[in-house]
Structures are given as structure tokens and as C-alpha cells.
Copies of this chain bind each other. A is one copy, B any other.
Amino acid sequence: MPASFATLPKPPYYAVIFSSQRTQDGDAAYGEAAQRMVELAAQQPGYLGVESTRGIDGFGITVSYWADEASILAWKRNLEHTAIRERGRREWYAQFELRVTRVERAYGWRRDAAHADTAQSSDAEPGRHE
């Protein structure tokens, strides 16, 4: 899973927030399946990007970004995705929560794009990008 930022268009778009607690089982197979899921998602119409991380306690959050709800539904129905998802329930997850959201607005900040004296919170600071 990539541990980095997605490059996204201006809102509106959609985000699926997937929070999960891993079991202690099947790390190698899980890692392969997670990587395959990212590859497969990236091939879907309407896929915009993904951000994902997991702590050493096994609690993780993956956010996938989509152009519209139809793309999310098509991805949900993808057969290989469905098979991997079912294996996730059998083996890899103790619990998960999934939330489908509409992104209303977004902004970001990068250290290397900011001036040294711009530690301020207005909406117009250098370093802001959209």
C-alpha cells in the first residue's frame, strides 16, 4: 500500500473511508492482497487515488477517492474485489467500518512550498495548494 498523498482534482469528488483492525493472521498473504487491491482499484473507471496507513497496533485507515458514486458501486461489485473482501472477513480483519463520503472542499500544505515566515492560518498563506 502506498504511504503517500493522493493527487486529486478540485472537489466535489467522493472518498471511501475504510477503518480496520487487523487480526494477527496471514501477514504475507494480506500484504499481497492489499497490494493487488490497490492495483485493481487503480484500473477502475472513476478511480482518483488512495491514501493508506496502519499503525503497529494493527489499526489502519485507507481512504480511496472516486469521481462519483457510480464508480464506487462498480468497484464494490467487481468480482475479484468481492473475493478478496470475503477473504478479508474470514482471515484478516477483526473489525472494519466503511463510510462513503462526498468531499465538499479540500486544501493542503507542503513545507517545501511555504516560506519560513508563513506559519499562519489564513486561507491565503503561501504553501497552500489545491
Contacts and interface: CB of A to CB of B under 8 A. Distances in A.
Contacts of A34: none
Give the interface residue-count category, chain A: 35 or more
Nearest to A81: B121
B110 A95 contact: yes
A100 B106 contact: yes
A107 B98 contact: yes
A121 B86 contact: yes
Given A101-B15, A103-B100, A109 B89 contact: yes
Interface of A: 3-6, 11, 15, 17, 19, 21, 23, 51-57, 59-61, 63, 69, 82, 85-87, 89-90, 93-112, 114, 119-121, 127
The 4 closest A-B pairs by CB, nearest first: A101-B101, A3-B59, A97-B108, A61-B61
